[in-house]
Structure formats: C-alpha cells, structure tokens
Amino acid sequence: MERRPLDVAILSDLHLGTYGAKAREVLNYLKSIAPQMLILNGDIIDAWQFSKHYFPASHMAVVKEILCMLAKGTRVIYITGNHDEIMRRYSGVELGNFQLTDKLVIEINSKMTWIFHGDVFDNTTRGSAKFWAKLGSNGYGFLMLLNRGINAVMKVLGRERVSLSKSIMAGVNKAVIRINDFEMTAAEIAIEKKYDYVICGHIHQPQKRLVETEAGKVMYLNSGDWVEHMTSLEFYQNDWHIYTYDEKQFANSKLEIEKTELTVVTDEVNFYVQSLAI
C-alpha cells in the first residue's frame, strides 16, 4: 500500500500494553501514512496497567514503526498523558527529530494551535481520586479481555461484533468527566489565550467543532482513541480531518510481526535519560 502524504498526524490513547489496544490496526494505519510530523498526544503506553507479562509483539511493532518513521525524517512529538505520566519527569528532552513534552503550542498554516492530552481537566486523575481511577482502569482492561472472548464466539456463530466497553465508557465519561464541559473548558481557555485551534485526547471522543462564545471562537478537536473508535486527526490540504480506521481498506494487508527479545537494565536507562534532562 502506498503511503498517504500528510502534513501532520495526531494519535492519542493507544494504551499499548493492555488487552484493549488495537495494535495491529494502529500498525496498519502507521504503515499507510507518511506525515511530516507525527504527534503522539498521550496515553500511548499504558503505565497504569503495564505488566512485564503482557506486551505482545504487535505492540512492540507499533513502537518500532514509530522509531522507523523517526529515523526516516518524520518529526515525532510525544505529549505525555495521565496513563504515561511517569515520563513527565523527563519532559523537555529533545533528541534529533524527537521531542518529549507535556503540552505544545505550534503554528500550523499560520494558525496558533494548542495541543495537550487533557487530563488536567479531569479531577479523577489527581489526588485521592487517582486511586479509584486506576482501579477503574484495571476493571476496564478486564472488561476488554472479556469482550474479546465474547466476540470470538460471535465470529464463530457468524454474528456481528458487540462492544460492552463502548457503551460503558461513554456512560462513565459523561457521568464523571462530562464531555461537553471538558470541551467547553478547553475551548474557553484557548479563546482566552487567543489560540485558533485546541486539540486534546483523553476522553476517547473524536470531535471537530467550532466553539463560539462572547469572548471569541476556537476550533476544538479531539483525536479520539485506538481502543474503541480507532481514529486520528490528520492535517492536509490546509485543514484538519478526522480519520476513522476501516478494516476493509486493509483486508489484503499482511503484516509480518517479528518477536523482539529485550533485556533492559532499568538503572542504566534511568541514569541515561536523567543525564539527558540535566
């Protein structure tokens, strides 16, 4: 498949390292695009649910593909989220075309664009509520594993796939985070700062809408996720577009995923990264 040229691609909430991650779909997508800039807007690797017993070859293949894109000249910007917040201590590190940061303000097509994950607006990710958020996250991971088993049975029976988690996640988001309030808060702050665009992830709800208030207007965008919606944001032809993965487009795609054996000495890695941050 020939790669589609893009100015910018934004992905968030891959949650690699969990049963719910659609790693093969992410890999198919990454291999189909050739962006000048790739922005990973948080929760790429899920440290909350990470286990050394579960990080399949397909998940590692996604990481390798991103590194390949980086090596071939794509600028990669990794914006930290709450599930990969452990990386925030190294925010500011830059290595060649790679940058690690907590937020990004960038001019795209003469428009000031504010990009961040969005967990700063979610009280469940801070303080004592964080414990319950992590507990809920683990329960969600179990639900995804259960859902996978159910869909395997449905496939054998020739029935359509079902999604237990999508309806539950939507209900939780509306009750706890209040999606509309989230969007309005981000938009109002962006208007106050006189940005033209504000781009988030976190709530797993792909969106593109113009928000207008008495103080001004801003275009709010959300890249969605790669657990349920399998969406990203793409900038080309001077505009932002929401991309939705269609498995039919990749029906003839045959991925060869090699198993990779890794031996990591944690202390040496930490020392190396810390020395870069000084």
Question: What are the backbone dihedrals phi and psi of residue 76, each rounded to the nearest 5 degrees, phi first?
Answer: -115, 125
For 13-31, what is the mean pLDDT? 95
Going by DSSP bridges, is the β-strand pair 33-41/75-79 parallel, antiparallel, or unpaired?
parallel
Q: How many CA atoms lie within 13 A of 72 on its CB side?
A: 13
Which residue has tokens 């259960």? 146
Among 106, 77, 101, 105, CA closest to 88: 101
| Beta strands in the chain, from DSSP E residues, in sequence order | 4-11, 33-41, 75-79, 94-95, 98-101, 103-108, 111-116, 197-200, 207-213, 216-222, 231-236, 239-244
Residue 203 has pLDDT above 80, yes or no: yes
Of the pLDDT bands very low, low, confident and very high (cuts 50, 70, 90), residue 133 is: very low
Residue 1 has pLDDT above 90, yes or no: no
Report the percentage of the chain scoring pLDDT > 90. 60
Domain ranges of the chain: 4-277
Lowest mean pLDDT segment, chosen from 31-35, 38-42, 122-126, 191-195:
122-126
| CA 277 – CA 101 distance, rounded (Å) | 12
Q: Which class is 4-277 in CATH?
A: alpha beta
Of the pLDDT bands very low, low, confident and very high (cuts 50, 70, 90), residue 130 is: very low
| Residue 277 confidence (pLDDT) | 41
| CA 204 – CA 257 distance, rounded (Å) | 27
What are the structure tokens assigned to 263, written together?
A: 């031996």
Does residue 33 contact residue 236 with C-beta atoms inside 8 Å?
no
